[in-house]
């Protein structure tokens, strides 16, 4: 067929618009997949799959395949939004898919999940042994099975935010470096073996008024560590199948706010033990007190970085007053 040059150019432009050019496929339909490699992903090639076009949303990873290469090393940046496909459409990153970063043991440092994410898929970060901490935002509602299983490099405190309602089985199994665990007040179920072999835990706080249900959730977790729960629920925890294995229920939490609803804000305290400074993180904090074992108040104020270098070594209680109630945590000063 004898096309004129102008018609040939128009034909080529139309073909590019429909089929894309090279590897940069124009993803415009649900389930289309594209790769982003720019500043938003830390200049790391990362795969996304479109899950919605109204609004524009994507999931990290393509179904049950990894979002990045297992040979990837260094810090991981998960963006809250990406531009891909046509190069003009921006998508909100709302979920992390199954196996998205599974066995990427070269990833290191602190993992910060953006507050656009509402779900973390099963085995999403399984065996990411180089990660040292994880911040789960208050947007996440579900954490899939084995999501962080085998992340033995995680250390310090882990906070499950109030937005989370369920934690999948083995989600944090074998995270033996964790020392402190806080479970938010909306968690209703904990899967089997969720915190199994987290043998480094020295303290657990559960803000849920009704004990979260499950089975064999804390295998190999020391049973004599301090466990803090809402004061009105202490008896229920002590008689619950999952929670009755713990023997040291102490420093219960006063959670009833002005409106009579238990909705205390998550409070994180670190490091613990501490030598120089105690850092306190949380929302709606009105005041903070540090009290010694004799009941003497050794600090009172609103500073969230408290100098404890002049305190005698020993155990102290940190009492944090929020708009919705009071939470008390034990801290060791070395």
> How does strand 189-190 pair with strand 178-183?
unpaired
Mean pLDDT within 225-231: 91
pLDDT at position 331, please?
Answer: 84
pLDDT at position 266, please?
Answer: 64
Give a yes or no: residue 85 inside a domain. Answer: yes
pLDDT of 329 > 90? The answer is: no
Structure tokens at 111: 């993992």
Q: pLDDT-based confidence at 87, cuts 50/70/90? A: low
Residues 105 and 225 in one domain: yes
Residue pair 31/50 in contact by the 8 Å Cβ criterion? yes
Q: How far apart are CA 310 and CA 308, in angstroms?
A: 5
Structure tokens at 181: 């665990």
Residues 210 and 268 in one domain: no
Residue pair 275/252 in contact by the 8 Å Cβ criterion? no
pLDDT at position 265, please?
Answer: 52
- Cα distances from 9 to residues 1, 6, 26, 104, in angstroms, run 15, 5, 19, 45
Across the strands, what pairs with 287?
321
Residues 282 and 327 in one domain: yes
* Average pLDDT across the chain, whole number: 86
pLDDT at position 255, please?
Answer: 61
Give a yes or no: residue 241 inside a domain. Answer: yes
Range of the domain at 167: 23-253
Structure tokens at 327: 């939470």
Residues 264 and 248 in one domain: no
The distance of Cα 74 from the centroid of its chain, to the nearest Å, equals 19
Residues 158 and 82 in one domain: yes
pLDDT of 262 > 80? The answer is: no
CB-CB neighbours of 244 under 10 Å: 12
pLDDT tens track for 161-191: 889 999 999 999 999 999 999 999 899 999 9
Give a yes or no: residue 8 inside a domain. Answer: no
Number of domains in the chain: 2
Residues 119 and 262 in one domain: no
pLDDT at position 253, please?
Answer: 80
pLDDT of 25 > 50? The answer is: no
pLDDT at position 264, please?
Answer: 52
Question: CATH no. for residue 323?
Answer: 2.60.40.1930
Alpha helices (H) in the chain, listed in sequence order: 5-19, 234-239
Of 253, 284, 314, which residue sits at a domain end?
Answer: 253
pLDDT of 124 > 80? The answer is: yes
Question: CATH no. for residue 212?
Answer: 3.80.10.10
Residues 62 and 146 in one domain: yes
Structure tokens at 101: 């970063």
pLDDT at position 116, please?
Answer: 96
pLDDT at position 260, please?
Answer: 38
pLDDT of 8 > 60? The answer is: no
Give a yes or no: residue 1 inside a domain. Answer: no
Of 219, 235, 253, which residue sits at a domain end?
Answer: 253
How long, in residues, is the chain? 334
Residues 241 and 267 in one domain: no
Residues 59 and 180 in one domain: yes
């Amino acid at each position: 067929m004898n096309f004129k040059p102008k018609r040939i150019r128009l034909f080529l432009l139309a073909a590019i618009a429909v089929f894309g050019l090279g590897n940069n496929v124009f993803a415009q339909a649900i389930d289309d997949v594209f790769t982003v490699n720019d500043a938003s992903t830390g200049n790391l090639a990362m795969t996304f799959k479109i899950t919605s076009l109204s609004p524009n949303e994507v999931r990290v990873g393509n179904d049950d395949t990894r979002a990045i290469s297992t040979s990837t090393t260094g810090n991981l940046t998960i963006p809250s939004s990406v531009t891909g496909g046509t190069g003009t459409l921006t998508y909100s990153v709302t979920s992390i898919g199954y196996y998205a970063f599974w066995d990427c043991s070269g990833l290191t440092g602190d993992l910060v999940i953006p507050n656009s994410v509402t779900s973390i898929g099963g085995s999403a970060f399984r065996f990411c042994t180089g990660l040292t901490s994880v911040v789960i935002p208050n947007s996440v509602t579900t954490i899939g099975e084995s999501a962080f299983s085998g992340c033995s490099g995680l250390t310090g405190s882990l906070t499950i935010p109030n937005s989370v309602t369920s934690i999948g089985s083995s989600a944090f199994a074998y995270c033996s470096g964790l020392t402190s665990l806080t479970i938010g007040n909306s968690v209703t179920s904990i899967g089997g073996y969720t915190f199994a072999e987290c043998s480094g835990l020295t303290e657990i706080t559960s803000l849920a008024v009704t004990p979260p249900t499950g089975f064999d959730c804390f295998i190999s977790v020391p049973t004599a560590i301090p466990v803090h729960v809402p004061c009105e629920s202490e008896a229920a925890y002590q008689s619950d199948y999952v929670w009755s294995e713990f023997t040291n229920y102490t420093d219960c939490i006063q959670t009833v706010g002005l409106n009579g609803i238990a909705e205390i804000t998550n409070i994180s305290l670190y490091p613990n033990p501490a030598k120089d400074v105690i850092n306190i993180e949380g929302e709606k904090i009105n005041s903070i007190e540090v009290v010694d074992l004799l009941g003497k108040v050794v600090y009172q104020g609103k500073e969230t970085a408290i100098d404890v270098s002049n305190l005698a070594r020993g155990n102290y209680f940190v009492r944090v007053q929020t708009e919705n109630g009071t939470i008390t945590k034990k801290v060791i000063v070395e």
